[in-house]
Amino acid sequence: MNQEEIRSFLALDLPENVTCFLEKISSRFKQSRADVRWVNPTSIHLTLKFLGNINGARIPDIENTLRPIFSSRSQLQIEISSIGAFPNLRKPRVIWAGVSEPSGQLIKMVSLIEDAFDGLGFPRESRSFNPHLTLGRTKSNRDRERLVDLINSMKPKPNITFVANRAILFQSILGAAGPRYKALSVFCLNHPDAEILGNELNHPHFLKP
């Protein structure tokens, strides 16, 4: 097993219709000409746990720990229900699409994931889980008001649902043009096996910015 340090995170995969929806939203917000680094919609995921730099040799233990969590959980019906910004729309730094999962199973699953990684020696998240999809990050205040006006104009708020049926352990490869993501393992919800992925070039989740 690879001994190198890799920057990694665990996330739910998004279906193509959601990616297209997010692309339309980003395209609309780009009309503001605000100074924002927009995330390529194909690179957007619903992050469950950011691991930071880990030794590649730990991946088998991570897989063995996560597999029973995902295999025992039902697929999730998730809704994109809001558009907003952190910390707020008066001073937007991160533009996001908010998601909700009415049954509460997403929150329960994240809690189990936190417990599992705690058992592996990873630090717990200091903040409560706030599920969202990051659309972009502001770089300056240029045309901020126009951007906020466009965000506020999205009423009624977006309402699109999708089924989340798998989580992916990603490696994040940083570069001058932005991060690329290599899928290391796939965990299917309500399925006992995790697919191990090794060929980054032939897999659709090796993403370019």
Among 28, 26, 27, 10, which Cα is nearest to 136's? 26
Residue 123 lies in a domain: yes
Please name the residue that has the structure tokens 């897989």: 63
156-174 average pLDDT score: 89
The rounded distance, in Å, linking the Cα atoms of 46 and 10 is: 9
Residue 104 lies in a domain: yes
8-state DSSP, 67: H
- Burial readout 33-44 (b: 16 or more C-beta within 10 A, e: otherwise): ebebebbbbbbb
179-183 average pLDDT score: 90
Give the pair of three-digit tokens for residue 66: 């996560």
Amino acid at 5: E
Strand order in the sheet with 36-38: 36-38, 132-138, 94-100, 76-86, 160-164
- The CA angle 129-132-134, to the nearest 5 degrees, is 130
207 within 8 A of 43, measured Cβ to Cβ: yes
41-45, 157-161, 192-196: which has the minimum mean pLDDT?
192-196
Task: List the domain range (segments joined by +) for residue 114.
Answer: 5-196
Residue 207 lies in a domain: no
181 within 8 A of 11, measured Cβ to Cβ: no
Percent of the chain with pLDDT over 70: 89
- Where are any strands of DSSP class E within 2-93? 5-12, 36-38, 46-55, 76-86
- 29 pLDDT higher than 50: yes
Looking up residue 42, the CATH number of its domain turns out to be 3.90.1140.10
Residue 204 lies in a domain: no
The rounded distance, in Å, linking the Cα atoms of 130 and 123 is: 17
- 128 pLDDT higher than 50: yes
Structural domains in the chain (count): 1
8-state DSSP, 71: H
Residue 42 lies in a domain: yes
**pTM, 2 dp:** 0.87
pLDDT digits (tens, 9 = 90+) for 112-127: 999 999 999 999 999 9
Residue 205 lies in a domain: no
Residue 15 lies in a domain: yes
- 92 pLDDT higher than 70: yes
**3-class DSSP state for residue 35?**
coil
Packing angle between helix 105-119 and helix 59-71, nearest 10 degrees? 150
173-187 average pLDDT score: 88
Residue 159 lies in a domain: yes
| pLDDT for the residue numbered 201 | 34
